[in-house]
Structure 1
Amino acid sequence: MQLILRSLHFKLIMSAMLIIAFMMSFSVYVLYMGHAEEQSQKVSTRMQENLSRLLSAGHPASHGFKNFDNTRQDISDPELDTLICRADGQLSWSSLFIPEVIKSKETLCQDLMNYLGELSQDYFFKHYTIKSGESYFIYSLRFQRNHGDGPTTYYVVMFNSDADFRAHTRAYLYWCIRQALLAYSLLGVLLMLACFWSLSSLRTMAHQIDEIREGKREALSHNYERELLPLTESVNQLLENERQQTQRYQHALNDLAHSLKTRLSLIQITTQEFRSGRESHDNIEDQIVIMDQIIQYQLRRAVSGRKRLASKGTEPVPLIEKLLASLSRVYRHKKLQTRFLFDDDVFFAGEQGDLMELMGNLLDNAFKFAISEIKVTVSHHCNRLKIEVEDDGPGVAPDKLQQIFLRGVRADSSSGQGIGLAVATEIVHSYGGQIRVEKSPLGGAHFILIFTD
């Protein structure tokens, strides 16, 4: 039962069938009442015709008369019990067939006058049920005749059993019910087919979701009805957000490993030094603090992605000097010459972790590929921050000037994951900046970064 109540197909069919049942019941009722009214009007018309015959046949002769005794019995409709009563309760003429009416013939006019005399209507037609349970159609008309000694008020009253009326209307009601049930059954079958066809899109959607779960497709198709498009778009957006979140986590782990690589190398070099003392201890402690900052930074990025975080900004010069000092120790075997040129009051309007990640990757590449010299320039450029990193290494091949900024693409054949420049590009673009690489006057690569704010 619980499964049925949780079925959308069942709910649609049941709700529609209940509405159709209500409408059909109402239609049957309206048809029945209309037919009953029509049959009732036929009885009324029949009584009016009978009345016309009686009044025509009972018109006073030339010598005059005071009652309808000379009216022939065969004038009246043989299926209608007819009475002509005077207002004083006297019976003037009758043609009776119903046993109950015949039994009360002597007092019937008086009883009728007691009832009709209280009415101000000259005419009425009514369906009436007596105490015994029998039902009759009653027709009454009040008129006056002048027999020479003043007007006399007469009442023509006709009775007709409604047995035929009830039998006919009952048969019509049963016929309407049978037709309604037949139509209801056909509509039920058609409704089931219509619901099955209408819900085919949901079955297709469920099948496509199964394929997404199995890895056979990446998103729901857009070939759905417009009512379902908001749902499919929301599901696709949810799937895309999930993929982006998963990708952010993966990139964050890769970036974290890449960022810690240099720090671990420096710690390893420091521990391998034969001399001991305060300096070595301070170097290790500094690198541990920096590693902790890197880990916290990458964890925040794993959640928020490459969106700009709220920051008061940072001064780039001290940070770059610290990075140059650290990398000089890591690559001290290369005995590289570093030049750092900067303008006064340069400022990076962003998070310190972003700048450290950005410059760490660029400077690590410069130290890795440089032969003897590295040059770093931080300057103002049209009220914008401009950072340049140059080396005298082999440079970048012309066919890879754009590809090296993609994840997994390396400019050389050495071991590595090709992450550093991709991370740098993501950071620069997150601040609306530009990054490009040219050939340096030193002979190697010349990376140019320009930030819009």
Structure 2
Amino acid sequence: MPASSLANRLFLSATAWLVVILAITGVVLSSVYKNATERAFDRRLNLYLRTLIAEVATPDEPPDRQFQSLGEPLFELPLSGWYWQITRTDTEKPEVRSSRSLWDKKLPKLEEHGAELTAAGIRLGYVDGPEGQNLRMVERPVDLGADGKYLVSVAGDDSEIFDETRSFDYYLGGTFTALGIVLLLTTVFQVRFGLAPLKRISESIADIRSGRAERLEGEFPVEIAPLARETNALIDANREIVERARTHVGNLAHAIKTPLSVIVNEAGVHAADPFAAKVMEQADVMRDQVAHHLERARIAARVSVVATVTEVAPAIEALRRTMEKIHRDRGIMVEAKADPSAKFRGERQDLEEMVGNLVDNACKWAASRVFIEVLVEVPHKAGAGPRLRIIVDDDGRGLSEAERTQVSRRGQRLDESKPGSGLGLSIVVDLAALYGGSLSLGAAPIGGLRAELVLPGI
């Protein structure tokens, strides 16, 4: 995964978790504060309730001065939202005394609203008050024996609870917003600079794959240094494997070529003998086959390691001049048009072998002209590299569909009078496949065969 993509994923993940955590924390704190505010409000109501019960139980003051010890002016202000009410419940017609603030209204009973008595013998709840007010109310039944039974109620406007909670929520929201911004900036800083070494490693590996570098260079943090060290060790190990493979291929080539040379020389002494001629013919085929498979093994070992980069235009121009000289006696004109920006992700000798086989084959069959064109195709998928399209056209007789299929097979030749072993196109197909490319044959606009080679570019 690219470092930038990983950084984006980490940032989005951290942001999502941060928002969720802050939201949950905000809800919990708001709920806790609301409960605390409500409990404080209830303590205030209970204080007034106990004072009223004491006044009812021990009426030391004259009736006109009773209930003045509450000390709350809001009980005297009409419809202020703060009310008390004492109802005698043991008479046929309940006697009701209430605060002046109630005016001529009455408080509802919490019992009628489904509120249950608590362990302390009181009821708590919310009710609708006069003028559409929302009230927080507490009531307690009191039994004074011979002095009667009473229901004492105290209510207060719950807007105080709402206003306190809303004010706290505003401050809490502002604080958490500022905290969230700070944490997000901190996360951005940590993700951006914390993953910078990984991004540098990613870019360095891309440079190695493209041939611009050979190893991961530079200092890395302690956490990343083992990754860079092991990557360099892997690159070195791959290079050693390739070198050993090349050595083994060379040794095998020498070991096989020597016995083949002896067989050919011995058969050449008896060239007039049909058996010797057959041995020489088959020895030549063996030599070509051995060369072909050794070359495949060499290329397979080479492309398995980090690739190098080859400038295509100079290689094509060199091939053009060489082929024009080789086929000068037939008057073959070789033209080339290559994109200067074209680069092959591989070694030059492999490119020359593939294109050289195609151009040589075109020159053998051309009447007078061979045209080479190199195009660079921009990738359509994200993350994919560019592709090279190398087109070789000739003005020869061309090939039918059946003939195109036949010549792509190893050792197949359409005309035994032409020089060659019949392995040229099959070698190109095999080498192109090893590099992840392909070869296709078709009709050329100039009248003959078109060979279209697709290879990885950069």
TM-score range, shorter chain: 0.5 to 0.7
Bigger CA drift: 133-142 or 111-120? 111-120
State the secondary structure of the residue aligned to 1:159: strand
Aligned-partner Cα distance in 2 for 1:118–1:163: 21
State the secondary structure of the residue aligned to 2:73: coil
Aligned-partner Cα distance in 1 for 2:22–2:184: 13
Mark the CA change 1:60 to 1:226 in structure 2 (over 3 Å): closer, same or farther. Answer: closer
Superposition pairs of residues 43-192 of structure 1, within 5 angstroms: 43-60=41-58, 69=63, 72-76=66-70, 77-79=72-74, 80-88=82-90, 90-97=94-101, 101-105=102-106, 108=107, 111-112=108-109, 115=112, 119=116, 122-129=121-128, 134-147=133-146, 152-192=148-188
The percentage of counterpart residues that share the same residue type is 16
Aligned-partner Cα distance in 1 for 2:114–2:202: 79
Aligned-partner Cα distance in 2 for 1:113–1:134: 16
What residue number does 2:328 align with?
Answer: none
Q: Is the Cα contact below 8 Å between 2:83 and 2:99 reproduced in 1? A: yes
Question: What letter corresponds to residue 49 of structure 2 in structure 1?
Answer: L
State the secondary structure of the residue aligned to 1:141: strand
Bigger CA drift: 188-197 or 248-257? 248-257
State the secondary structure of the residue aligned to 1:139: strand
How far did 1:139 drift?
Answer: 0.8
Aligned-partner Cα distance in 2 for 1:240–1:137: 80
Q: 1:20 aligns with which of 15, 18, 21?
A: 18
Mark the CA change 1:196 to 1:282 in structure 2 (over 3 Å): closer, same or farther. Answer: same
The C-alpha deviation readout for 1:21-52, integer Å capped at 9, x for no partner, is 11111112222112111111111111222123
Aligned-partner Cα distance in 1 for 2:115–2:200: 76
Superposition pairs of residues 279-318 of structure 1, within 5 angstroms: 280-281=276-277, 283-284=279-280, 287-288=283-284, 291=287, 294=290, 298=294
Aligned-partner Cα distance in 1 for 2:203–2:115: 80
Q: 2:189 aligns with which of 186, 193, 206?
A: 193
Mark the CA change 1:153 to 1:220 in structure 2 (over 3 Å): closer, same or farther. Answer: farther
The C-alpha deviation readout for 1:185-244, integer Å capped at 9, x for no partner, is 11111111111122012122023214424353335789566589569747863x457535
Give the TM-score of the pair, scaled to structure 2: 0.52
Aligned-partner Cα distance in 1 for 2:189–2:294: 56
What residue number does 2:205 align with?
Answer: 209
The C-alpha deviation readout for 1:353-412, integer Å capped at 9, x for no partner, is xxxxxxxxxxxxxxxxxxxxxxxxxxxxxxxxxxxxxxxxxxxxxxxxxxxxxxxxxxxx
Aligned-partner Cα distance in 2 for 1:245–1:118: 85
Aligned-partner Cα distance in 2 for 1:274–1:146: 146
Q: Which has the larger radius of gyration?
A: 1
What residue number does 1:416 align with?
Answer: none
Q: Is the Cα contact below 8 Å between 2:110 and 2:125 reproduced in 1? A: no
Bigger CA drift: 285-294 or 174-183? 285-294
Question: What letter corresponds to residue 145 of structure 2 in structure 1?
Answer: N
Q: Is the Cα contact below 8 Å between 1:248 and 1:303 reproduced in 2? A: no
How many residue pairs were aligned? 287
RMSD: 4.2
Gaps (5+ residues) in structure 1? 306-453
Give the TM-score of the pair, scaled to structure 1: 0.52
Gaps (5+ residues) in structure 2? 75-81, 302-458
Bigger CA drift: 42-51 or 71-80? 71-80
Mark the CA change 1:44 to 1:143 in structure 2 (over 3 Å): closer, same or farther. Answer: same
Mark the CA change 1:131 to 1:42 in structure 2 (over 3 Å): closer, same or farther. Answer: same
Mark the CA change 1:159 to 1:234 in structure 2 (over 3 Å): closer, same or farther. Answer: same
Q: Is the Cα contact below 8 Å between 2:88 and 2:95 reproduced in 1? A: yes
Q: Is the Cα contact below 8 Å between 2:139 and 2:154 reproduced in 1? A: yes
